[in-house]
Amino acid sequence: MRAARPIEESPEYARAMAVGSEAAKTAAPQAATDARKPTVIPPYEGALGTPKGSGMSTLAVNPNFAFSHPTARTSGKAFFVLGGASYQCSGTVVNSAGADTVWTAGHCIHSGAGGQAASSWAFVPAYDDDLANPRPYGTWSAVSIWTMNAWINSSAPAEDMGVAIMGTLNGNHIVSYLGGQGLWTFAGTQNTQNAFGYPAQAPFDGGNLWRCSGYSSQENPNVWTETIKIPCNFNKGASGGGWLLNWDGNWGLVNGINSRANLPNPTIVASPYFDQTALDLYDFTKNM
């Protein structure tokens, strides 16, 4: 874990972003007009229960949550091996029937077109290097990892999402014990979002959970690329962290993930728009 670098520093990430950017340029101009009925999966508070607080900031702020706080314990850092090197991402525990799902970016699961799947995938909920034990709920190991074919084959930015199915730890399922955030698809492109993650490049150090709040919009106002953005200065390491819609200071509905930022001096973070693709991924993995 000490050796793990942000996935954005990998050559695989650079290649996937280049391939995906070229593919996005060929997208036909259209508006985001999909008006299908939203699908809402409610959050689940788990065995540890709940307490409250909020605030808005388009610049990242450290909410200084106690590790037992619902948002902290359902957020965490992912560690994995890709191309023989160790990397880190962010992730979010999401409520599901199987009670084992962690959502993250597709590029934290697979390196995209011409690439390979990650291995040794582990998740540390409520990671905080200010604690004597930065892993207050231990390290959970994935038994399987999943992303979309369009990400694997084409590095498609609109499908840069992934799910890790965690094994039990001390007999506990991760959702049953820690709780899980909800999920919302087809919510529209313009919403107040709260994005969470572990940015690891200066001025951040990857040791704490940070939050940005902002109003989402189409990533490209002239071409519907099935991606949305919010103003935020997250950088390397925040990839895979969840965007929570209707966040009440504890619980919310995952409506995006940190997919890309305009590095090296980020002012926005982008996410796939959670439409049928996200719902298909949820439905495929929810009972695992």
Is the whole model's pTM more than 0.75, yes or no?
Answer: yes
As given in the structure block, the two tokens for residue 54 are: 């909020």
Tens place of pLDDT for every residue, the chain, 288 residues? 766 766 566 666 666 666 655 554 444 444 444 445 567 777 777 766 554 444 456 688 899 999 999 999 999 999 999 988 999 999 999 999 999 999 999 999 999 988 899 999 999 999 999 999 999 999 999 999 999 999 999 999 999 999 999 999 999 999 999 999 999 999 999 999 999 999 999 999 999 999 999 999 999 988 889 999 999 999 988 999 999 999 999 999 999 999 999 888 899 999 999 999 999 999 999 999
Q: Which residues of 182-195 are buried (b: 16+ CB within 10 A; e: fewer)?
A: bbbbbbebebebbb
Query: Which residue is listed with tokens 């200084």?
Result: 64
Helix (H, G, I), strand (E, B) or coil at 284: helix
What's the rounded Cα separation, in Å, for the pair 207 and 202?
Answer: 12
What one-letter code names the amino acid at 227?
A: T
